[in-house]
Amino acid sequence: MDLLTALDALFVEFEQALAGAASLESLEALRVDALGRKGRLARIMSRLPELAAQARPAAGQKANSVKERCTALFEERANALLAARESAALKRFDPTLPGRTPWRGSLHPTTLITEEICAVFTAMGFDIVSGPEVEHDYYNFEALNMPAAHPARDMQDTLYITGQMLLRTHTSPVQVRSMLVRRPPLSVIAPGKVYRRDSDVTHTPMFHQIEGLVVGNLINFAHLRGTLTTFVCAVFGSRTKVRFRPSFFPFTEPSAEVDISCSLCGGTGHVAGGPCRVCKATGWVEILGCGMVDPTVFAAVDYPDSVSGFAFGMGVERVAMIRYGINDLRMFFENDTRFLTQFVRG
């Protein structure tokens, strides 16, 4: 067979072989066999010197043309096989199988609420501070205008370590500690754990509070209202109504309790014809205590008469219960993961 005929035969055979190849692998084998470096085309062309010199360019062109056509055929066939393979693979693909999800973590609701509240206040320029949980009677009571025989001590049943050392009953001692290490003006917020000797359906012996303190010249009750109203709107929504009602704390005067309109009944006091269980049909929910810093407290930290300030404190669990609709305080400390995993910050 002369060289040119052999080239033609190569193409025809290649075409036939391709048609019979069922896999990409056999296809590739055919390609190598025909067009590879040591393949049949190469072997045919190795006979080029047999030809007369003037016939060689034509033979070369023919070889190139056969190679191009073979390659085109190969690619067409390979693409077809590839497409068939992909479509077959796609048929087996089940997009609904579960993903390889990493562990799902969560933050405790008291952490979420504490951070949310702190963020509101830091945006207003407050500094976050902390203090010890085992406190001296002086910081927890004395310096806050609650001397030993003060009936207000009955409001907070105390867990003692010694006669003078105790588990802080509120975050208010951080007020005193902050004022002792800073000079006015100051605005601080102190989140943390507090302890009371109390345990029933609505009380746990440990819970979380956030304390706030602002001291400066010309700070007045209107600033207190403005600050806490901003806070309530940020945390409970801008349509929440706020009510300031006179109350008593030994370390503030005037003192007030802040009530917000009940989110369950919308402040009407009634749900579905019955009394609202969250606000006990009053339409209001008590959310925090506050007041203007009592002059006795300023005297205890040696601040001048000319300053004034306000302080406030709130229970974190209480806020969390209202925000998330949690109805049992004890759940916070049972750490059932079915409870914990419900709280993630998106």
Partner 1 sequence: MLLSLSWLREFTPYEGSPEALGDRLTMLGLEMEDIVRPYRDISDIVVGHVVACAPHPESDHLHVCRVDAGLEEALDIVCGAPNVADDQKVPVALVGTRLPDGTAIKKAKLRGAPSFGMICSERELGFSDSRDGIMVLPQECQVGARLVDAIALDTEVLDISVTPNRADCLSILGLARETALAFDLPLHIADLQLVEDPTEQQVLIDIQSPDLCRLYAGRVIAGVSIVPAPMRVRHRLHAHGVRSISNIVDATNYILLECGQPLHAFDLDRLEGGRIVVKRAGNGEKITTLDGQERILARDDLCICDARRAVALAGVMGGLNSEITEQSRTVFLESAVFKPEAVRKTSRRLGLSSEASYRFERGIDQQRSIFSLNRACAMIATFSGGRVLRGVACAHPTPFIPARITYRPARANALLGIELSREFNEKSLLDIGCAVEKSAAESWLVSQPSWRPDITREADLIEEVGRLYGLDAIPSLPLPVLRDGGQGGQSLHAFWSRVKHWAAGLGLNEAVNYSFVGHKDLDHLGLPEQGRVSVLNPLSAEQDVLRTALAPGLLQTLRNNLAQGAHGLRIFELAYSFEAASAGIGDTGVCVCETGKLAVLLYGARYDAVWPYIEADADYADIKGIVEHLLHFLRLPPPVVCAQRDAPACLLPCVDVRCNGEEIGQIGRLKPALAEPFHACKDVWLAELNLDRLRALHDKIVMRFAPLPVYPPVRRDITVIAGHSLHAGKVLAHLANLKNPLLVESVLTDVFEPEGQDVPEGERRLTFRLTFRHPDRTLKDAEVDRERENVANSLKQSLGVRI
- Torsion sign, CA atoms 151, 154, 160, 166: negative
Joined together, the tokens standing for residue 346 give 């998106």
Give the other-Cβ count within 10 Å of 23's Cβ: 10
Joined together, the tokens standing for residue 37 give 């470096």
Closest CA to 195 of 161, 158, 165, 162: 158
**Shortest gap between Cβ of 188 and partner 1 (angstroms)?**
7
Closest CA to 69 of 12, 1, 26, 6: 12
Whichever of 45 and 292 has its CB closer to partner 1, that residue is 292
- Total interface residues for partner 1 by CB under 8 A: 94
Which residue among 54, 96, 162, 238 contacts partner 1 (CB under 8 A)? 162
Whichever of 16 and 334 has its CB closer to partner 1, that residue is 334
Show contacts with partner 1 in window 30-59 (CB under 8 A). Answer: none
Which residue among 41, 67, 70, 135 contacts partner 1 (CB under 8 A)? 135
Show contacts with partner 1 in window 269-298 (CB under 8 A). Answer: 292, 294-295
**Shortest gap between Cβ of 278 and partner 1 (angstroms)?**
16
Q: Is 321 in the site for partner 1 (CB under 8 A)?
A: no
Listing DSSP states for 171-207 in one string gives: STHHHHHHHHHS-SSEEEEEEEEEE-S--BTTB-SEE
Q: Would you say 285 and 322 are in contact if contact means Cβ atoms under 8 Å apart? A: yes
Per CB under 8 A, the segment of 34-42, 68-76, 87-95, 190-198 that binds partner 1 is 190-198
DSSP H/E element including 255: strand 252-261
Q: Is 64 in the site for partner 1 (CB under 8 A)?
A: no
Rg (CA), the chain: 41
The response to whether 116 counts as a known ligand-binding position is no
Q: Is 285 strand, coil or helix? A: strand
Q: Is 100 in the site for partner 1 (CB under 8 A)?
A: yes
Per CB under 8 A, the segment of 5-13, 18-26, 27-35, 199-207 that binds partner 1 is 199-207
**Shortest gap between Cβ of 87 and partner 1 (angstroms)?**
24
Which residue among 64, 83, 160, 270 contacts partner 1 (CB under 8 A)? 160
Show contacts with partner 1 in window 232-251 (CB under 8 A). Answer: 243-248
Tell me the binding residues: 253
